DNA sequence: AGTGTATCCTGCAGGC
DNA sequence: TGCCTGCAGGATACAC
């Protein structure tokens, strides 16, 4: 489910509720979302406070005092709900998987219908290594059109697959890959290394614009996504192609098509993407 | 280095 | 109403 804008929306909504909270215990309802045994997670988090909250790609990163990091990958249907002392979980939290209890009675609930999400606690150096294996942040300063073009060059994979590969660029998922390609007038199946300098520049701009606009709208809710405040994201109303098979292209009024490759649906307009 | 396929799960929409 | 199929925002492992 959640891609960069959804993770960013969660982090922004969560920060004021979580930073400063000290973990007293961890309730594990579904251990299969944990990367290590429940006791490992308890040992590493109990008695420690969260001191910073950030995002890396699609991951929510909760930094603990002492340098360890609680890493949450939301998978397809993962959500994080902060709970005030005495506050019951929202009715939307139908599939609780892990609950971090805080001193004073508050909590952070990880809820995940399909349980493709992952929760793990890493030491600082392990986290650095993990983060280093991810590609650049598309909204970061270092992510220039020139660097993007360089990354694309030499790759024979379809550009949509290239965008989804977290080792090449971090945070883009199927919705925003399709939306950015449409905005840049580039067919999702184009060979990444065949993009001209001009096309790479257009796609670079499109990726950044789509992600920024989606963050501004609070992410995209197809079905499950909720921000930390429990609200759905509004970008679904601004989607041009994703999930709109057979509907008219908002730009040229051609009929949007769906094709499948790399195991996932790609949506595009045959009229204005080549 | 690519691609296709399968896997992990649950829920929902659509066809009959 | 029920049953079946296909589909889903992700990540990974495998064979070719």
Which of A2, A82, A138, A188 is an active site residue? A2
A64: closest CA among A147, A133, A122, A125?
A122
Q: Are residues A128 and A9 in the same domain?
A: yes
Residue-wise pLDDT for A88-121, tens only, equals: 999 999 999 999 999 999 999 999 999 999 999 9
Q: Are residues A122 and A68 in the same domain?
A: yes
Could you give the CA distance from residue A155 to residue A260 in angstroms, rounded to a whole number?
20
Does the annotation mark A202 as catalytic? no
Expressed as residue numbers, the domain containing A262 is 145-268
C-alpha torsion A154→A75→A100→A63, nearest 10? 10
To which H or E segment does residue A24 belong? strand A23-28
CA A74 to C1' B11, in angstroms, rounded, equals: 17
Q: What is the pLDDT of residue A226?
A: 84
Q: Are residues A119 and A153 in the same domain?
A: no
Nearest nt (C1') from A176 Cα: C9
CA A64 to C1' C10, in angstroms, rounded, equals: 26
Nearest nt (C1') from A77 Cα: C9
Nucleic chain C contacts, protein chain A, residues 106-125, CB cut-off 7 A: 114, 116
Q: Are residues A152 and A257 in the same domain?
A: yes
Over residues A140-148, mean pLDDT: 96
Measure Cα distances from A15 to A4, A6, A21, A130, A132 in Å: 16, 14, 10, 22, 24
Residue-wise pLDDT for A29-42, tens only, equals: 999 999 999 999 99
In a domain, A274, yes or no: no
Does the annotation mark A138 as catalytic? no
In sequence order, which residues have a C-beta less than 8 Å from that of residue A129 and are 6 or more positions away?
none
> What is the pTM (predicted TM-score) of this model?
0.97
Domain boundary among A110, A132, A154: A132
Sign of the dihedral defined by the CA atoms of residues A40, A41, A47, A50, in that order: positive
Q: What CATH number has the domain bearing residue A250?
A: 1.10.8.50
Nearest nt (C1') from A73 Cα: C10
Query: What's the structural domain count of chain A?
Result: 2
Q: Are residues A123 and A159 in the same domain?
A: no
A226 touches strand C (CB under 7 A): no
Residue-wise pLDDT for A212-251, tens only, equals: 999 999 999 888 788 888 888 899 999 999 999 999 999 9
A131 touches strand C (CB under 7 A): no
Domain boundary among A81, A103, A132: A132
Which of A44, A56, A58, A190 is an active site residue? A58
Over residues A58-85, mean pLDDT: 97
Could you give the CA distance from residue A274 to residue A262 in angstroms, rounded to a whole number?
19
Could you give the CA distance from residue A259 to residue A261 in angstroms, rounded to a whole number?
7
Q: Are residues A44 and A153 in the same domain?
A: no
Which of A42, A189, A205, A264 is an active site residue? A264
Q: Are residues A109 and A161 in the same domain?
A: no
Tell me what the pLDDT averaged over chain A comes to: 96
| Whether pLDDT at A188 is above 80 | yes
Q: Are residues A219 and A250 in the same domain?
A: yes
Q: Where are the beta strands (DSSP E) in A191-268?
A: 257-261, 264-268
Q: What is the pLDDT of residue A1?
A: 62
To which H or E segment does residue A245 belong? none
Q: Are residues A101 and A204 in the same domain?
A: no
Could you give the CA distance from residue A6 to residue A219 in angstroms, rounded to a whole number?
5
Domain boundary among A106, A132, A158: A132
CA A200 to C1' C6, in angstroms, rounded, equals: 35
Q: Are residues A115 and A167 in the same domain?
A: no
């Amino acid at each position: 489910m959640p891609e960069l804008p959804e993770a960013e929306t969660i982090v922004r909504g969560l920060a004021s509720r979580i930073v400063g909270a000290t973990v007293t215990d961890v309730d594990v309802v579904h251990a299969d979302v944990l990367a290590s045994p429940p006791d490992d997670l308890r040992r590493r988090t109990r008695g420690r406070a969260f001191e910073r909250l950030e995002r890396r790609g699609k991951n929510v990163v909760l930094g603990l005092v002492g340098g360890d990091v609680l890493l949450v990958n939301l998978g397809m249907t993962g959500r994080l709900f902060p709970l005030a002392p005495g506050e019951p979980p929202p009715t939307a939290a139908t599939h609780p998987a892990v609950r971090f209890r805080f001193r004073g009675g508050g909590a952070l609930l990880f809820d995940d219908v399909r349980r493709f999400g992952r929760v793990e606690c890493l030491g600082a150096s392990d986290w650095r290594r993990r983060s280093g294996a991810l590609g650049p942040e598309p909204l970061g300063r270092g992510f220039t059109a020139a660097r993007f073009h360089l990354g694309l060059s030499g790759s024979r994979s379809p550009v949509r697959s290239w965008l989804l590969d977290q080792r090449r660029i971090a945070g883009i998922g199927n919705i925003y890959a399709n939306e950015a390609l449409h905005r840049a007038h580039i067919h999702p199946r184009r060979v990444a290394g065949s993009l001209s300098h001009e096309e790479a520049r257009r796609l670079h701009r499109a990726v950044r614009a789509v992600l920024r606009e989606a963050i501004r709208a609070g992410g995209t809710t197809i079905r499950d996504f909720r921000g930390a405040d429990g609200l759905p994201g509004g970008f679904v109303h601004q989607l041009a192609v994703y999930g709109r098979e057979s509907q008219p292209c908002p730009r040229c009024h051609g009929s949007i098509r769906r094709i499948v490759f790399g195991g996932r649906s790609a949506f595009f307009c045959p009229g204005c993407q080549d």
